[in-house]
Structure 1
């Protein structure tokens, strides 16, 4: 652990200056130790699982019977190369699985699952129901169009036709009168 590099990194990212004697470096050292121990346990578990997998592959006939010249652990280092390094301890609670028949892996699935088809049917039902509600509300609140007015020409009776002709003659006669008389006549007709 390079303390100067860590000090520089902390200063660059946060702007906080820390000393080499700062207690935070004790936490960093503790973190490294815990992390190293956890990594060693995981490497041991991976090594045990890969040995078991190799054994299953040999039993199934998919791996040659003779082991390769150098057996590597999870860090790609030959096993037993470092005499000073202790052998990885077995992982507590790890029990290798017994060899058994290999189940095929499903590679294809249905295009639409039954759950998806139920969801599609529910969505279609909701869409139809929504459309019916909208159309019903529109019919309920819309004003009806006014009925078209149909005018039918009625045939005039002979008396009515005679009255119209007399009214036209009277209108022409009133227009020929002097303005004073015409105004008096108009006033009398209004009564």
Structure 2
């Protein structure tokens, strides 16, 4: 860890100047130590799992029983005495390995059922709303005999106005406003 680099990076990003003796560097060192420990544990777990997988493949006939001779010293040491975490129990080979599904169908049966249920609920809701409107709707008020007669007279007047001379038709609105 280059403290000068970290100081300049912090200053560039935040504008805050920190000293080399600042306690934040102790936290950085602690973070590095914890991260290194976690990485080592995960590497050990991955090595153990890959060795177990190779062993299962050999047992299933997928890989040649004899290991290649170009292994590194690290791989060879792991084969002799693998670094298993405490409480690690390898999984026994259970016959041929099944292929893993890499693609799923566009719409699963569960999604189809959910879509069907949603469509049914939408239709039911629409029916409830429409029946409520029909039940509580007030009927249009009926016209009285006088109102019906006035509408008929208005239609007759409109037809008669269309038959008038255009000059006379233009003067009529002026005369009606007086």
Structure-1-length-normalised TM-score? 0.60
TM-superposition CA deviations, 1:88-135 (whole Å, max 9, x none) = 74311221111112344456659542x444433432332222222232
Cα distance in 1 for partners of 2:131, 2:76 equals 84
| Residue of structure 2 equivalent to 1:90 | 84
Q: Which has the larger share of helix?
A: 2
Q: Which residue of 1 aligns with 2:93?
A: 99
Name stretches of at least 5 consecutive residues in structure 1 with no aligned partner. 73-77, 152-191
Question: What is residue 122 of structure 2 aligned with on the other side?
Answer: 127
Structure 1 or 2, whichever has the larger Rg, is 1
Partners of 1:2 and 1:60 in 2: how far apart? 50
Query: How big is the shift at 1:8?
Result: 0.9
Structure 2 SS opposite 1:79: helix
Aligned-residue Cα RMSD (Å) equals 3.1
2:74 aligns to what SS in structure 1?
Answer: coil
C-alpha change, 1:91 and 1:123, in structure 2 (3 Å) is: same
CA distance in 2, matches of 1:4, 1:148: 97
Other-structure match for 1:44 = 44
1:99 & 1:81 partners in 2: Cα distance?
A: 23
Distance change >3 Å, CA 69–CA 118, structure 1 → 2: same
Say yes or no: does 1:26 pair with 2:23.
Answer: no
Specify the SS of the correspondent of 1:57.
Answer: helix
What TM-score do you get using the length of structure 2 for normalisation?
0.64
Assess, with a 3 A threshold, how the Cα gap between structure 1 residues 144 and 80 changes in structure 2: closer, same or farther.
closer
- The match for 1:178 is none
Mapped partners of 1:16, 1:130: distance in 2? 60
**What count of residue pairs does the alignment treat as equivalent?**
141
| 1:31-180 matched pairs, under 5 angstroms | 31-71=31-71, 78-79=73-74, 89-101=83-95, 102-106=97-101, 111-113=107-109, 115-139=110-134, 140-144=136-140, 146=142
Rounded to whole Å, the distance in 2 between the matches of 1:20 and 1:8 is: 11
